[in-house]
Amino acid sequence: MTDISITQGGQHASAHREAKPHKWALSLWARVVRRLARRWTVYSHVRKFCQTFTVEGRENLASIKNPVLIIANHTSHFDTVIVLSLLPDAIYDRTAVVAAADRMYRERIKGMWHSLRYNAFPITRGGGREALAYSQWLLHNGWSLLIFPEGKRSRTGELLPFHGGPAILATLQNVPVLPIYIEGAGRILPPGTNRSQPAPVVARVGSLLTFPAGTAISDAKHAMEEAVRALAGTAIADEQAAAS
């Protein structure tokens, strides 16, 4: 999975507007399949390629409840699996993954597989507020969302500016936001490559962010970006300390 995002504006709209969410992916049978297959579709990949895998701030996962908006930085296809491996069962079972229609849903069968395996659904990048409709419906009905606010993978590892879509969702639907920073996934499967290789990974889970009624979208976006940057700053500081 890659390029999972919500963006604003119309510059990336494409012929993939016809890609529609597979609502059957929300059904009981599909949820059961994902729960039973999680050992192979999520955990086995993390064990194989995240060597070693360190999770900091795991205590921040203990009290979260659906719905919650889960945000993370994005450097690799592998980011989705890493985040899904962290989630408690009750959250995992009711989490949908926002996926770029022009990349993950170009082929019908592959798109269906993404929907079944990760409860992903397509969204047209640059589709504006209209593209947020299904995401809003999911949050309103008690589903959590995993989204990458940068809108694309960072090829340098540096955090890119956040788009406004996630902030719109958090403020309009009045849901808390769980920030996560992933360090090292870009070394497992860098952009432009097709072969994975093991690498050390650190995932830092931040405290929940909540926004009072009336919070401006720009303020929410800034707070979300700063929360992930703070987790990234911790990672950078630890690396510098280890190198000295």
- Pick the closest to residue 203 from 237, 228, 224, 176 (CA basis): 228
How is residue 59 annotated by DSSP? G
Residue 201's DSSP bridge partners are: 53
Domain ranges of the chain: 15-243
CB 14 within 8 A of CB 88: no
Task: Calculate the alpha carbon distances from 229 to 30, 42, 152, 233 in Å.
Answer: 35, 26, 16, 6
Rounded Cα gap, residues 114 and 102, in angstroms = 13
pLDDT of residue 14: 41
CB 224 within 8 A of CB 72: no
pLDDT of residue 11: 39
Rounded Cα gap, residues 4 and 122, in angstroms = 9
pLDDT of residue 8: 39
pLDDT of residue 140: 96
pLDDT of residue 223: 97
- Pick the closest to residue 84 from 44, 135, 142 (CA basis): 44
Element (H, E) at 177: strand 177-183
What is the length of the chain?
Answer: 244
Per-residue pLDDT of the chain (244 residues; tens, 9 = 90+): 544 344 434 434 443 445 788 899 999 999 999 999 999 999 999 999 999 999 999 999 998 999 999 999 998 888 999 999 999 999 999 999 998 776 666 778 888 888 899 999 988 766 556 668 899 999 999 999 999 999 888 888 899 999 999 999 999 999 999 999 999 999 998 777 778 899 999 999 999 999 999 999 999 999 999 999 999 985 555 544 555 4
Which CATH number describes the domain made up of 15-243?
A: 3.40.1130.10
pLDDT of residue 15: 39
Cβ density class 14-29: b for 16+ within 10 Å, e for less: eebeebebbeebbeee
How many C-beta atoms surround the C-beta of residue 10 within 10 A? 11
Could you tell me the end-to-end alpha-carbon distance of the chain, in angstroms, rounded to an integer? 36
CB 97 within 8 A of CB 118: yes
pLDDT of residue 117: 93
How many C-beta atoms surround the C-beta of residue 100 within 10 A? 27
Q: Which two tokens stand for residue 125?
A: 């990048």
pLDDT of residue 130: 61
pLDDT of residue 189: 80
